[in-house]
Amino acid sequence: MSRILVAATPVTGHTGPLLRIAAHLVDLGHEVAFLGGARFAERAGAAGAVFHPLPPEADYDERDFDASFPARRSVPPGPARVAWDVMHVFGDPLPAQLRSLRQLLAEFPASAVIHDNLFLGGVALALSAPAADRPTVLSIGVSPLGVPSRDTAPHLLGLLPPVDEEERARYAVLAESLEERTRPVHAYLSGVFAAAGVRLPAGPSGRVRAESADHYLQLTVPGFEYPRTDLPANVSFVGALPLPAGRDPWQPEWWPALSWARAAGRRVVVVTQGTLANVDLTELTAPTVRALAERRDLLVVAATARPDGAQALHDALSDLQGLPTNAVATGYIPFDALLPFADLLVTNGGYGGVQAALGYGVPLVVAGETEDKPEVAARVEWSGTGVNLRTARPSAEQLSAAVDKVLDDPAFRERAHALRSELAEYDALSLIAELATGPGGA
């Protein structure tokens, strides 16, 4: 059996997948240490891993970024905030992350280190020594693949791949302009790496981060990612991670309505803003419920992923005097229980949630424009599995039209089913374990 060190950025969407990987490795009999945010200690212990907290200077709670990064609130959403996050949310913790990795490896000589793609301490570890002189490093792509390519548009703009040479040339000019504008970001990161005693290679950061790892493992399938003729050889698609099974047998009192709706020929529309961007339910959840209010052909399930979500949504719908009769609201509900009933998912574009929906063959309507969400939405559009609304605050009219478009055109469900079949061909956990513990990783 092997010793494996798993490290995660202290953000739910990054830590959750790494915890699932850790649990699988423990189930296989490997010794696993988990380096992550303090608030995930209990979950790491439940996974069977030995938990080690990140030092305070590398730990924070994404539910209240303002507390850890007060300057962030003055940066407008969009490219400026993305650049700020790269430098400060992900960049600044790097020296402390690397120091913790090295201290742990001195006590726990792991043969492999597995980290999420934005845990830059893992990137620095890989760059700090030849492969023969350090553990095998596996980087897990928990967000859309950001490796630049002549076959794609510049990353994070939410643009579809070029369709001809004219558009390819236009994208190349755009990429040069963006590279010039982001040069200060690369310079800042170079300084952070240097402070940790590691040289950051020149070149686009997305490619450098990917190529630094011995194995860069993207949590999706080729059918949901733009083809690249210049993809680095160390990048592999391993499929999506299975959803964690709901451990609580409790079901809300409205649960039988799902079966009743199906029996009555009504279609089920689930709407969610995920587990992080769900503070303001007036962005997507409330407008969706409002857009579909009182439609007899639909049952709308608002999955708010917050304990006070039902009441918060009721308050946001004061113009309707609360929830319409064709809608129900819940806090946290396991997606593995809910998605089998869904005919459509309306989402703000969280990468993991979209992969989960496609794993059940559920088509999508996506409304997101912060962080990497435009890239997720663009891939939904490109793959034919749903509609990209290109805004985080769609109107009721936009939502109603998009829902009808997806539900009425069988092509969307057919493409979602095709992705479900492709995802079913992969076993992400086994593939990751094999690379982490097989020849070169054991």
∠ CA 185-217-378, rounded to 5°: 65
pLDDT of 322 higher than 90:
no
Q: Would you state the torsion angle of the CA atoms of residues 381, 382, 385, 386, taken in this order, to the nearest 10 degrees?
A: 10
**CA within 13 Å, CB half, 383:** 33
Cα separation of 7 and 17, whole Å? 11
Find the helix or strand (DSSP H, E) in which 53 lies. Answer: strand 50-53
pLDDT of 309 higher than 90:
no
What mean pLDDT is reported for the chain?
93
Task: List strand residue ranges (DSSP E) for 68-110, in order.
Answer: none
Residue 249 lies in a domain: no
pLDDT of 414 higher than 60:
yes
Is 312 found in the same domain as 394?
yes
Residue 100 lies in a domain: yes
| Strands 364-366, 386-388: pairing kind | parallel
Is 261 found in the same domain as 230?
no
Is 186 found in the same domain as 281?
no
Taking only the tens place, the pLDDT of each residue in 217-276 is 999 999 999 999 999 999 999 999 998 765 555 688 999 999 999 999 999 999 999 877
Is 271 found in the same domain as 223?
no
Is 116 found in the same domain as 14?
yes
SS (H, E, C) 217-228: EECCCHHHCCCC
Is 430 found in the same domain as 399?
no
Is 27 found in the same domain as 85?
yes
Cα separation of 374 and 351, whole Å? 11
pLDDT of 24 higher than 80:
yes
Taking only the tens place, the pLDDT of each residue in 101-151 is 999 999 999 999 999 999 999 999 999 999 999 999 999 999 999 999 999
CATH, residue 308: 3.40.50.2000
User: What range does the domain containing 353 cover?
Assistant: 256-424
At residue 249, the pLDDT reads 58
State the pTM of this model.
0.94
Of 242, 221, 239, 220, residue with least CA distance to 339: 242
pLDDT band at 66 (very low <50, low <70, confident <90, very high): confident
Residue 244 lies in a domain: no
State how many domains the chain has.
Answer: 2
Residue range 413-440: average pLDDT? 94
At residue 80, the pLDDT reads 85
pLDDT of 397 higher than 90:
yes
pLDDT band at 326 (very low <50, low <70, confident <90, very high): very high
Residue range 76-105: average pLDDT? 93
Is 38 found in the same domain as 116?
yes
Residue with tokens 């061909």: 425
Is 363 found in the same domain as 291?
yes
Q: Is the separation of the CB atoms in 121 and 94 below 8 Å? A: yes
Is 390 found in the same domain as 430?
no
Residue 408 lies in a domain: yes
At residue 406, the pLDDT reads 98
Residue 442 lies in a domain: no
- Write the DSSP string, 289-334: HHHTTT-TTEEEEEE--STTHHHHHHHHTGGGTSS-TTEEEES---
Cα separation of 362 and 347, whole Å? 12
At residue 246, the pLDDT reads 55
